[in-house]
Structure 1
Amino acid sequence: MDVFACAGCGAELTAPVSRVALPVHTHYGAWEQLHPPLMEPATYAVEPRPTGLPRRPWDEVGEELAAEQGVYLPQHSVSFGPRGAVVIAPGDSRGMALIPEKCAGYCMGIDGRDGPNLACEGCGRAVATRVDDCGLWQAVWLEPDAVRRVPSGLPAVPVPGWDELESYAVPPVELDGSWSRRWEAAVPVALAHLVVACEGRPVALPGPLAELLGDTVAGCLPAGPPVLTTILAGPGTPVLRSGADILVVPRHPVTGEPWRPPHGAATVVPLDIGVWAHLVLPGEPSPLPASGRLPEGVLRDDYPLPLRPRHGFWPHDRAFRDTLAHLPGIRSPELRAYYDRYAKT
């Protein structure tokens, strides 16, 4: 495990934390809603893309320079900020104080619009940005040039194997009947990868995903009769015999790498582990017997019915478009033609 320290005075700014994959829903929240912390306690992740200021207009940047920044579709502006921003849960921050004049926000909190708003208590250097406004996942973003990573002296947390992922399942519906904000972002991210994997050709969603989300995500995929087939695959799934064109597989929560089949070179599309595990892995068994009645004298609480959403699934449009914009394959003529059609809808 590591801690992050001020690059100026060396003061420790975090509790001991262990690196995990950057969540796919990091930058995609639900407008006008308060969000929980992005990161689990005692973890951190690194954003490999440029983030923040300075930003330059697309017309000024051009396609070639934008591609160097990892952007492959026209955008309003392109970030030329630093790469490698580190994100932690707010509860893991230490020795930092808010800079009052940089605490502006849209509604109920701070959105980081004025740049770093947390200063090192040891030397006063601006080192991080706290965000907790509505529509944003609560987080503390450490400035990559203002902090340094140092060993904590604690043993590293073991990386879970592919057969230890059942506990990562995330249900699609919140307790209030709304769709999970994580699902609303993670599903369109996977759909963007699927569009690029199928090179703009029509494709059918895997059965469980299609049954759950119905036609609400169909507008993201190329139109026409299904040509390519997909299945949900990964650890614990049956041996692949279907001859599917594309495998929708889990993304490892620590390494961020997609699961790969032991044999063959099938095209894989990564899906958030929480969504994948809910769709594929067995859940909690019902306490009701398969047949007959409970034995005399056995008491139980009423088993809750599955939560039902109060409205249709609305995929996060910006998550879909932004993911497409950062996939190099979108530059192919077939996919650009698809995107031009999609952008008009």
Structure 2
Amino acid sequence: MNYARRLLASLAFFPAPFIMADSTDYPLTLTNCGMEISFSSVPESTVTVGQSATEILYALGLSEQVSGTSVWFNPVLPEFSEINADIERLADNDPSFESVISRRPDLVAAQYEWHVGPTGSVASREQFHELDIATYIMPADCDTKDNSTGGDGTRIAAFSPEHVYKGINELASIFDVREAGDALVADLQSREASAIESARRLELPEDLSAVFWFSSPDESADPFAAGRLGAPGYMMDALGIHNVVESDEEWPVVGWETIARADPDIIVVASMDRRRFPADDIANKLEFLHGDPVTREMSAVKNGRIIEMDAHAMSATMRTIFGLETLVEALSTLPFDQ
């Protein structure tokens, strides 16, 4: 049974009012990342620019409407590997505008505003709209976030999984599969609550601290470390862990000397297939941590408190919940008595 069908089957355990999701009345109008968008019917063809949008559409049972994908950090979730193999990957990273429109989509669903925003690396929303191609940006990348600062943007308030759930529900409405949306959100909420409860049962040290390292321009350069208000910040807050990086930027560059002075109890490193930077390779990250004269003296390195996490879980996506589970499982095994 695939993921979407398993989620729908789980609705049998919810009361009738939960199950009876309304059908979408078209035309449907939404405000998405500051722009009003409208749909007169279910989109027949969608190109995704971002793994998050891709996997959500798959989880909603909408793979047949996906005509092309792009921007991948990690392999697709195992339950979607078979269907994903039959869908064209336009690019591992940013696709060209021409490659997207060549698929003749009704909708372009993007994970990050920088891909289709005012100065989009693929194109602006207006460029797509001039061709009668609708655009939808995952709310987790613009709710509580200012992307006008460039780069990965700056959070103006803390990320919450509710922004991911909002995106799931809105896509479910656009495609008239609201029951599937309800089921997917319920499943993720259950996993989120279970992970947090499991962490509460652990006898963790007080004032536990951590840093999340996504990547670096090269192995020895200062790292892109998670700011306090993004998805890793949510994970740390949910589990009572202090983030040694105080910035509101999504992924600020922080010097290793600064991190070493803070000496976090835990270092969480991103594992990914993407190879934009040398430090995308987790083997290079680990080699640096154990070999650099500054980092190798950090207590987390010396005492084996390094956690590997799916890079996509460190972004504001439904995989953030899986990252929370990874963190809790690792915390249950780490040595904190040294």
Same fold (TM over 0.5): no
Higher fraction of helix: 2
Normalising by structure 2, we get a TM-score of 0.29
TM-score by length of 1: 0.28
Which structure has more relative contact order (CA 8 Å, sep 6+)? It is: 1
Higher alpha-carbon Rg: 1
